[in-house]
Amino acid sequence: MRILSDAHRNAEFFETPDASEGLSRYVFTVSTAIQLVIMCVAAIFEVGGDALIRRGLTGGGIAFVVLGFLVLGSYGVVVNLSGLDFTRMIGVYIGWFTLVSMLFGRYVFGDRSSGTMWLGVGLVLLGSVVIQVGARRENNPTDSVSYRPKETE
Spell out the residues 6+ positions from residue 139 whose beta carbon is closer than 8 angstroms to its own: none
Q: What is the mean pLDDT of each run of 10 residues along the chain (153 residues)?
A: 41 44 51 83 92 92 95 88 82 90 91 94 92 68 50 60
Q: What is the pTM (predicted TM-score) of this model? A: 0.64
Q: Where are the domains of the chain?
A: 35-141
Question: Which amino acid is it at 11?
Answer: A
Compute the distance between CA of residue 46 and CA of residue 70 in angstroms, rounded to an integer: 10
Q: Where are the alpha helices (DSSP H) in the chain?
A: 32-55, 62-79, 86-107, 115-139
Q: CA–CA distance from 94 to each of 35, 91, 136 (Å)? A: 14, 6, 17
For residues 120, 129, 46, 99, the Cα torsion angle rounded to the nearest 10 degrees is: 40
pLDDT at position 132: 78
